[in-house]
Structures are given as C-alpha cells and as structure tokens.
Amino acid sequence: MSAETTVRKYYAAVRNGDPLGPYFADHPAAVKFGISEQLRGFEEITEALAEQTRTTEEWRVESTDLTVTEQESHAWFADFVDMAWTDTGTGERFSFESRWSGTLETQDGDWQFVSMHVSAPWEL
C-alpha cells in the first residue's frame, strides 16, 4: 500500500468511526497536533483518538488538495480538508476548513504516521 493510500484510508477511518491508533507508529516520539490538542507518544495518541471516536459522530472529512511525496522509507503529505463532526455529549456541530500535514514512515511495507498536524485558520 502506498503512503497516499494510507492517508486516504485514515480519512475514511475517521468518517467511519474506525480505530485510528493503528495508523500511528508505536513510538514514544510520535506526535499529533490537533485543532485543540497536542499529543505525544503512541499511548497518548491512541488513547485520545479512541476518546475522540467514542464521543463524536457524523464526521465529514473531505480532502480538497492532497499531495503526498513518498521516498524509500519516509513520506510526507499536506492537504486542505473540509471537516465537521458532532459532539455526542452536547449535540453541538463543529465545522472547519482545515489544513493537515504530516510525516509517515514505513516498516515492512506498512506506512504509519510519525507526525500529524491539523490546524484551522484563525481570522482576526
């Protein structure tokens, strides 16, 4: 599977409420920055993503400009993503035109994220 396919499968997993932890490298230096959080290390990332999946629904993750560069053992990506979800506790709907970027590494042909950054532009 290519790095680009991995990114697209991750987007689908978010939309479908599937487990997201397996997409990240089991490494203490792995990092994920979200719109409102900073997660460091595989355990913290997988726990937070499991909580996200448990407490949200009706995800929209629509890629609008994905670019992926793949080399022998590393790859990086950037994308503009139209995203939205509903908080299951409050019923509140959130929606962002966001920017995603990250780095992946491959082990035995399986691409996994070692870093991911999701942000939303902030207008003054």
Q: What's the pLDDT band for 109 if we cut at 50, 70, 90?
A: confident
The pLDDT tens digits of the residues spanning 31-78 come to 999 988 999 999 999 999 999 999 999 999 999 999 999 999 999 999
Is 3-119 assigned to CATH 3.40.50.720? no
- Beta strands of 27-92 (E only): which ranges? 31-33, 38-40, 56-63, 67-70, 74-87
Task: List the chain domain ranges.
Answer: 3-119
Kindly report the pTM of this predicted structure.
0.93
Q: What's the pLDDT band for 108 if we cut at 50, 70, 90?
A: confident
Residue 55 belongs to what H/E stretch? helix 42-55
